[in-house]
Amino acid sequence: MNRLVERTNPHDAVRDRSSASETGRSFLSVSGLTKYFPIRKGLLGKKIGDVKAVRDVSFELRRGKTLSLMGESGCGKTTCGLAILRLTEPTAGTVRIGDYDVTALRRREMKAFRQDAQMIFQDPQEPLDPRMNVRSAILEPMRIHGRLREGTERLGEIIDRVGFPRKYLRRYPRELSGGLQQRVCLSRALILQPSFLVLDEPTSALDVSVQARVLDLLLELRAEFGLTYLFISHDAAVVRYLSDWVAVMYLGQVVELGRTEQVFARPTHPYTQALCSAVLTPQSRIRVCEVVLHGSPPNPVDLPDSCAFAPRCAQKDDACKPSAPEMIEVDTEHFVLCHRCAKEVTVR
Amino acid sequence: MNDRPTGPPQDERLLDVSGLSTEFVVQEGIVRAVDDVSFYVRRNEVVGMVGETGCGKSVTVHSVMRLILPPGRVVSGEIRLDGRELMGLSEATMRSVRGREIAMIFQKPMSSLNPVFTLGSQLIDVIRLHRDVNESEARRIAIDSLKAVALGNVEGLLSRYPFELSGGQQQRAMIAMALSCGSQLLIADEPTTALDVSVQLQILKLIRQIMDDTNMATLVISHDMGVIGCVCDRIYVMYASRIVEHGPTEAIIERPRHPYVVGLIRSIPAFVKNVSRLENIQGEVPNPLNPPPGCRFHPRCKYAIEACSTTKPDLLEVGEEHFAACLRTSEIPYENGKERELPC
């Protein structure tokens, strides 16, 4: 397999030095993204509340980089990914991807956008039609977009690139292993030549040795095709391996955001610290792990105004006011949503 | 393997399996899902069995529980629990062994619990089936075992239905059920795979703590070396229906001696020190219908020599209670790096 080649485009170097928060340069820009699912009751479907799945999420990302959304199941990371692609309509907020003002796109414009932004799902079997062989499955998106001829020309090249054996093109999804199925899904997305991919736990259904190969493949493809990734995962080790930026989510909110090295070197929000200590390594023999989360996340319907993590927080103290915490920059481009961290920064 | 593998004396072994082979007859031929597997679990020892999907680890424990249904069958092997041979037991006797002497918990607790009965009635039923107690005593045992797995508001839980519990609570309830009959051995088949990372850690801690408190021996099955490395004292690694390496946890993780195990450990993001690149194991897991001759790993192994494709390697002692089935085990570079930093 080819070695990962870092892109040596001089423009990238310039972008690297510039700050991600400079909106002019960012490729993906999410601002105040919110998604509430109404809960209805009774015959007339009266709205009795909202499931607050995503609450006021904002971040920026430059072209060719990867940002990971990390958190436990139910924290809203998948909904956030879906809302960014408008696979579910956001309740509020704006999303810009490249030249597309995603949240303002009309139906007709959506079709062009769909070719440019693709999504890979956790279970590779689900998006594949069991009655469609691999070849038809990969060409399906090209047919939908009226680019079938172009698709047949590029098919061989794409599957070679993702490492799918040509001899299996006539096979059906059920005849393939999980790793190969995920390669089919990747081919389906890449054949459209997108510039942006949302990867929703693409390796958590795979075995570790297969996972390692898919992760490396993703890194190679990103460099080769100049892709930008939004990576969704609960696994801190995988996130650390793959991404440049990480946004830790808890109950619909981003609680910590920063460069991957920085967040993992100095996890600042108590929740991030707990997540990191939950990564199982041979060194973390059970007795050594100290920061363990107790209980489960509260119900996302009746959320407190104050810090949503406070009920499970081991470091809760007087600084945790009843008001909502605000994002505070604890270090260069390293943001944390925590009253205690805010206090420490002020003291410094 | 005719001669018994060396190891601790017979009476130390609570579960002693030797030469176990299980086959499935399918349309295309015969799949030998477990091929001459031998292992043992000592009293109050936590043993892990790790391997990738389809390596035969689940079939192995299902064979031990005699839960293999046609077209599958156990073709050979001895399974001894506390000195008593399980293979020859009648189905009726075996049913009393399952649950009472060997308890088992599964990956998806929801599919093991009956959705139409309350947790309390299921627990009490199981206790009364296996222990000679009346309803109120069974209820007390149920409450005690729920308390042991750190579930709060136990009285309220008894009248709850399984769907009202979170995944972590369900798995705790399953462990409580396993505890309630006072089994000597717990088999946990992927106990945390369906759970969140933070809940996973809580459950693993609980399993370890219960083992330390009650001296119940445990066999944990998982595809996740992190899970196994965390709770187990000893590890068996399976590849393509066979055990390729086994030994104490430290030895397997720090000094793996089989090329597959080396590759497996180096492909785990959380385990590698230098995160710039993971190691790949090239190729695919062999087709179980037609496994390669000799060492089953040789087509994917970068150390393979000609003899590897003809000779089936035996498990050789490479350290204290540490065995590896590789012809070239003495030559492969096994150091996995002394210091691997934690993700944070």
Predicted TM-score of the model (pTM): 0.79
Q: Residue A348 — very low, low, confident or very high, per pLDDT cuts 50/70/90? A: low
Q: What is the pLDDT of residue A9?
A: 38
Q: Is the confidence metric ipTM above 0.90 for this complex?
A: no
Average pLDDT over residues B132-159: 84
Ranges A206-210, B2-6, B202-206, B212-216: which has the least confidence: B2-6
> What digits encode the pLDDT tens for the residues B191-219?
887 777 777 887 888 888 888 888 889 99
Q: What is the pLDDT of residue A14?
A: 34
Closest CA in chain B for residue A293: B198
> What digits encode the pLDDT tens for the residues B37-95?
999 999 889 999 998 888 888 899 999 999 888 888 999 999 999 888 998 889 999 98
Q: Give me the phi and psi of A176, to 5 degrees please.
A: -110, 155
Name chain B contacts of A281, Cβ cutoff 8 Å: 226, 229, 270-271, 340, 342-343
Nearest in space to A303 (alpha carbons), one of A313, A293, A295, A311: A311
Nearest in space to B286 (alpha carbons), one of A162, A161, A177, A170: A177
Q: What is the pLDDT of residue A290?
A: 52
Tell me, what amino acid is at A83?
A
Closest CA in chain A for residue B53: A207
| Residue A334 contacts B, CB cutoff 8 Å | no
B94 contacts B81 by C-beta, under 8 angstroms: no
| C-alpha distances in Å from residue A191, one per residue of A180, A218, B258 | 16, 15, 40
Closest CA in chain A for residue B286: A177
Average pLDDT over residues B276-293: 78
Q: Residue A155 — very low, low, confident or very high, per pLDDT cuts 50/70/90? A: very high
Q: Is the pLDDT of residue B157 over 50?
A: yes
Name chain B contacts of A277, Cβ cutoff 8 Å: 201, 344
Ranges A290-299, B100-109, B171-180: which has the least confidence: A290-299
Average pLDDT over residues A165-187: 89
Name which of A177, A235, A282 is nearest B253 (Cβ-Cβ).
A282
Q: Is the pLDDT of residue A17 over 60?
A: no
Over chain A, what HEC string results? CCCCCCCCCHHHHHHHHCCCCCCCCCCEEEEEEEEEEEEEECCCCEEEEEEEEEEEEEEEECCCCEEEEECCCCCCHHHHHHHHCCCCCCCEEEEEECCEEHHHCCHHHHHHHHHHEEEECCCCCCCCCCCCCHHHHHHHHHHHCCCHHHHHHHHHHHHHHHCCCHHHCCCCHHHCCHHHHHHHHHHHHHCCCCCEEEEECCCCCCCHHHHHHHHHHHHHHHHHHCCEEEEEECCHHHHHHHCCEEEEEECCEEEEEEEHHHHHHCCCCHHHHHHHHCCCCCCCCCCCCCCCCCCCCCCCCCCCCCCCCHHHCCCCCCCCCCCCCCEEEEECCEEEECHHHHHHHHHC
> What digits encode the pLDDT tens for the residues B244-259?
999 998 888 888 889 8
Q: What is the pLDDT of residue A292?
A: 64
Q: Is the pLDDT of residue A86 over 60?
A: yes
Name chain A contacts of B250, Cβ cutoff 8 Å: 282
Mark out the alpha helices in B181-248 (DSSP H runs). 197-214, 225-231
Average pLDDT over residues A224-247: 91
Interface contact A209-B343, CB threshold 8 A: no
Q: What is the pLDDT of residue B21?
A: 94
How far off is chain A from B219, nearest CA to CA, in Å? 16
Which of A280, A289, A294, A313 to substitute to test the interface with B, most B CBs within 10 Å? A280
Q: What is the pLDDT of residue B3?
A: 46
For residues B271 and A116, give the distance between their C-alpha atoms in angstroms, rounded to a whole number: 35
> What digits encode the pLDDT tens for the residues B13-42?
899 999 999 999 988 888 999 999 999 999
B130 contacts B96 by C-beta, under 8 angstroms: yes
